[in-house]
Amino acid sequence: MHIIPAIDIIDGKCVRLVQGQYNAKTIYDAKPLDVAMRFQDAGFTRLHVVDLDGAQQKRVVNHRTLEEIARKAESLHIDFGGGIQSDNDVRIAFESGARQITAGSIAVKNKPLFLQWLQTYGSEKIILAADARDEKIAVSGWEETTEISLLEFIAEYESQGVKYVMCTDISKDGMMEGAAIELYERILAQSPDVKLIASGGVSSIKDVEGLIEKNLFGAIIGKALYEGTLNLQELKALNQ
């Protein structure tokens, strides 16, 4: 399983939110590049970058920061999400150094466009963000919860060629109370061929080991790294 550190960006700074709430923001580092370099130096090969300003403004905003990270931390495979709503946003993300893009809201609100990206760029380049609150898909920076079933959403897009799915149980995000392992089990029972990336709630080595046992493709880790409940050396030993 790939252990994937996360960098969330607001105003060009590295932050973390609690359950996606912008008024519950903690600034951890003024320079996302410095954080990315620490991850690279610790031996990690993947990085999840989220443009939280973009998620609110419905367009890519922090692409200069992405570009700087991609240029200087060049061994990191970056997936980038937040505000990707148009062909131009996708172009900017890839031109700025993203290896993959993560898109969720657009897959709900404009399915033909999302499928067009899947066809144009290929399934290795596109990650479906399946973010859910009470197993209902949430969009627009998690500010809007739909009536769309999480499992049905994933199954539908898998049938359309999606290979990578990043799933966040919003109730777990930033809470440091453990990952939604049972939910991920049910997703993989339904869609065993999906490369599932877990996100939210990981707070201990036990959580990481529990996810590894479920044969997930990857796990996003954010707040636990910034708060120090997990350290890079511990994770490096488990990273594959």
173 among known catalytic residues = no
E strand or H helix that includes residue 2? strand 2-10
Burial code (b: 16+ CB inside 10 Å, e: under 16) for 167-178 equals bbbbebbbebee
Q: Which of 142, 90, 131 is nearest to 113 (CA)?
A: 90
E strand or H helix that includes residue 6? strand 2-10
Catalytic residue among 89, 131, 173, 207: 131
131 among known catalytic residues = yes
Q: Which are the contacts of 207, defined by CB distance < 8 A and separation ≥ 6?
A: 178, 179, 201
Q: Which of 85, 81, 135, 80 is nearest to 107 (CA)?
A: 85
**What does residue 47 show for φ and ψ, rounded to 5 degrees?**
-150, 135
H helices within the chain, ranges in order?
Answer: 32-41, 52-57, 63-72, 87-95, 105-109, 111-121, 150-159, 181-190, 205-213, 223-227, 232-238
Q: Which of 128, 166, 143, 141 is nearest to 61 (CA)?
A: 141
How many of the other CB atoms lie within 10 Å of CB of 240?
A: 8
Rounded alpha-carbon distances, angstroms, from residue 123 to 28, 79, 112 = 33, 13, 15
- Give me the active site residues, please: 8, 131
